[in-house]
Amino acid sequence: MSAQLFTDFSQIITCESPRDNAVLTNTALAVVDGRIAAIGAEKELSHRFADAEIVSGQGSVLTPGFVDSHTHALFGRYRADEYAMRARGVPYMEIARLGGGINASVTDLRHRSEDELVDITLPRIAELIEGGTTTVEIKSGYGLRTEDELKMLRAIRRVAERVPIDIVPTLLAAHEFPAEYKSSRDAYVELIIHDTIPAVAAENLAVFCDVFMEPGVFTREQTRTILEAGSAHGLVPKVHADEFEWSGGAELAALLGAASADHLGAISDAGIAALANSQTVATLLPATLFFLGKTHFAPVRKLLDAGATIALATDYNPGTAASPSMQLALTCACSYMALDPLEAIVAATAGGARALRLENG
Ligand code: NIG
Ligand code: FE
């Protein structure tokens, strides 16, 4: 048996709820064989676990690990050139229309081998671990054809085997329409449901299936078709919903019992009510809007007042959120959305776990 006693912290934040006993002082935490065994008064626990190795917090704050429930952390190069274009005022969706955006990352990724992707990603995961993330969801979505979506998900699995944190894989074949299907969009949807989803399920490579539902990208009907095909293969739905313009993504996510509806910068009041009356978590990604130079953020207070569960994540990706820092996401949430820091920490830990259906794990 190995035991450690974490003591001398100014606060221990349990993240059970932002209200009741979430912030504990004069409290220690005992870990036995890698699992939390007790949280209690420092004096009592130092008697009970007298033989434990002492880990002193030196007055810092102890929180659960961050659960980053929305990332695109497996990619080739950063699209720094697009950041420069946006800084000059060209909008993200316009850059995408000009051949940049997600499709630029697709061209880049298709040229890279699975081994190369594993090698590029490992240091990026090390950076995120350094920032306190202990569980991270990673989406495919830069392959946009079966072989390259499989390449991404196999690389994610290999990375997961080599790092000391949990990685949750998501199929996002419906991230964009690849260039070769620009004028036959329904044919790409057919490819996803008849080829990509069955192939991914056969190798058990993903837990979730996600779609970027947005005007100009996947329609409501296409989104529904893809998510239902995913569900039929055991993949739990998630939706990139109402990011820039309202399209009813939050409403559809609630209707389909999705684990989460993500972004929500343009969610409607009906969408807020739909999420509040469902188990679907509202995942907020304020660092993306910050990187995009936007001043309008998701209506977090309305979501909380309505009774929705919120999660905070980074959206770490090569174009619109080029940082795996949960601290940055928390700072944006507090500075721009007026979230209380404790609410933000709960959303970045317990909220993220709910968005990944890991709250009991
Ligand atoms: O969640 N909105 C779509 N997908 C990503 C952006 C990915 C990219 O630009 O490469 C997002 O923001
Ligand atoms: Fe995303």
Tell me, in angstroms, the distance from the centre of ligand 1 to residue 199's CA: 24
User: How far is Cα 285 from Cα 71, in angstroms, rounded to an integer?
Assistant: 10
Read off the tokens for 10. Answer: 């100014």
What pLDDT score does 17 carry? 64
User: 22 CB under 6 A from ligand 1?
Assistant: no
Read off the tokens for 230. Answer: 């995913």
User: 86 CB under 6 A from ligand 1?
Assistant: no
What pLDDT score does 63 carry? 94
What pLDDT score does 22 carry? 84
User: 320 CB under 6 A from ligand 1?
Assistant: yes
In 8-65, which ranges are E strands?
11-13, 23-24, 27-32, 35-41, 53-56, 61-62
CA gyration radius, the chain: 21
User: 318 CB under 6 A from ligand 1?
Assistant: yes
Q: Which are the contacts of 355, defined by CB distance < 8 A and separation ≥ 6?
A: 67, 69, 70, 137, 259, 260, 281, 283, 311, 313
In the chain, which ranges are E strands?
3-7, 11-13, 23-24, 27-32, 35-41, 53-56, 61-62, 66-68, 133-139, 166-174, 208-213, 236-241, 260-263, 281-284, 310-312
User: 102 CB under 6 A from ligand 1?
Assistant: yes
What pLDDT score does 67 carry? 98
**Nearest by Cα to 148 from 182, 187, 191:** 191
CA nearest ligand 1 atom 6, residue: 320
Task: Label residue 300 exposed, middle or buried (CB < 10 Å: 0-12, 13-18, 19+).
Answer: buried
Q: Which are the contacts of 110, defined by CB distance < 8 A and separation ≥ 6?
A: 143, 145, 148
Ligand 1, residues 70, 317, 332: which to mutate, most atoms within 8 A of Cβ?
317
User: 105 CB under 6 A from ligand 1?
Assistant: yes
Tell me, in angstroms, the distance from the centre of ligand 2 to residue 37's CA: 36
**Nearest by Cα to 260 from 16, 67, 69, 66:** 69
Where do we find the tokens 């001398």?
Answer: 8
Extract the residue ranges of the chain whose pLDDT is less than 70. Answer: 17-20, 361
User: How far is Cα 43 from Cα 308, in angstroms, rounded to an integer?
Assistant: 39
Measure the CA angle with vertex 19, ends 17 and 22; round to 5°.
Answer: 65
Tell me, in angstroms, the distance from the centre of ligand 1 to residue 81's CA: 16
Ligand 1, residues 243, 320, 332: which to mutate, most atoms within 8 A of Cβ?
320
User: 7 CB under 6 A from ligand 1?
Assistant: no
What pLDDT score does 14 carry? 86
Tell me, in angstroms, the distance from the centre of ligand 1 to residue 55's CA: 40
Smallest-distance ligand from the CA of 212: 1
Tell me, in angstroms, the distance from the centre of ligand 1 to residue 72's CA: 8
Going from the C-alpha of 48 to that of each of 30, 38, 51, the distances in angstroms are: 9, 10, 9
Q: Which helix (H) or strand (E) holds 151?
A: helix 146-162
Tell me, in angstroms, the distance from the centre of ligand 2 to residue 147's CA: 21
The atom of ligand 1 lying closest to the CA of 105 is: 10
Ligand 1, residues 102, 105, 214, 288: which to mutate, most atoms within 8 A of Cβ?
102
Looking at the DSSP bridge assignments, the partners of residue 282 are 261, 310
User: How far is Cα 93 from Cα 78, in angstroms, rounded to an integer?
Assistant: 17
Q: Summarize pLDDT for 29-46 with one digit per residue, the tens.
A: 999 999 999 999 999 999
Provide the pairing of β-strand 208-213 with 166-174.
parallel
What pLDDT score does 20 carry? 64
- For the CA atoms of 197, 112, 285, 342, what is the dihedral angle to 10 degrees? 100
For residues 143 and 152, the answer to whether their CB atoms sit within 8 Å is yes
The atom of ligand 1 lying closest to the CA of 263 is: 1
In 10 A of CB 33, how many CB atoms?
8
